């Protein structure tokens, strides 16, 4: 979320996989499918799968927040990031974990414009200012790779969600 510690990094895997080789291999459909499968496993830009898993049939998509009873007996004013992580030994861990991820993303990982978004737009009219975080983002039903540009677009069902990894957002609260 805004103001929280974060890291920008480029991680290059070993085996001397050069950008030229990546550009060549991206033309292969199997390679593209495997790359997208890997990226979708690591980077999320929507909550649909978490909502579907968290929904046990008794709640609606709009009511998918973790109940306080499932975390601890504390007041509902506690910021979700301050709650303890779900217990992995719980028999219902996966569903509770998914609810927790939805709640964390909804409360701390949805972009809201601030002056920081427009700090390089000085002197421009309000209508010509562009958010430097590129928000809102275009929705995409499926992840894909544009062969002509190499642009990777991840599946996105919400225009304001910052990308995240479910394990990191839960662990780093």
Give tens-digit pLDDT for 32-69: 999 999 999 999 998 998 998 877 644 433 343 333 34
Q: How confident is the model at residue 4 (pLDDT cuts 50, 70, 90)?
A: low
**Residue 135 pLDDT > 60, yes or no?**
yes
Mean confidence (pLDDT) of the chain: 82
Burial of 170: CB neighbours in 10 Å, binned 0-12, 13-18, 19+: middle
Asked if the model's pLDDT at residue 142 lies above 60, the reply is: yes
Query: Is 123's pLDDT higher than 50?
Result: yes
* pLDDT at position 70: 42
Handedness of CA 154, 157, 160, 161 (dihedral sign): negative
In this predicted structure, the answer to whether residue 18 has a pLDDT above a threshold of 90 is no
Least confident of 74-88, 113-127, 159-173: 74-88
Name which residue leads in pLDDT, 151 or 77.
Answer: 151
At 44, is the secondary structure helix, strand, or coil?
strand
Q: Is the pLDDT of residue 21 over 60?
A: yes
pLDDT of the residue at 69: 40
Q: What whole-number percentage of the chain has pLDDT above 70?
A: 83
Residue-wise pLDDT for 76-106, tens only, equals 567 788 888 899 999 999 999 999 999 999 9
Question: Do the Cβ atoms of 153 and 146 come closer than 8 Å?
Answer: yes
């Amino acid at each position: 979320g805004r103001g929280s510690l974060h890291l920008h990094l480029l991680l290059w895997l070993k085996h001397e996989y050069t950008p030229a080789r990546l550009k060549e291999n991206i033309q292969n459909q199997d390679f593209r499918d495997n790359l997208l499968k890997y990226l979708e496993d690591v980077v999320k830009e929507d909550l649909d799968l978490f909502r579907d898993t968290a929904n046990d049939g008794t709640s609606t998509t709009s009511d998918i927040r973790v109940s306080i009873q499932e975390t601890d007996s504390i007041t509902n004013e506690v910021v979700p990031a301050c709650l303890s992580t779900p217990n992995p030994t719980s028999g219902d861990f996966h569903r509770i974990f998914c609810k927790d991820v939805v709640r964390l993303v909804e409360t701390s990982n949805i972009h809201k414009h601030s002056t920081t978004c427009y700090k390089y737009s000085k002197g421009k009219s309000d209508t010509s200012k562009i958010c430097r975080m590129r928000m809102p983002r275009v929705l995409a039903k499926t992840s894909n790779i544009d062969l002509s540009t190499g642009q990777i677009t991840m599946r996105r069902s919400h225009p304001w969600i910052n990308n995240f990894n479910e394990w990191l957002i839960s662990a780093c609260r």
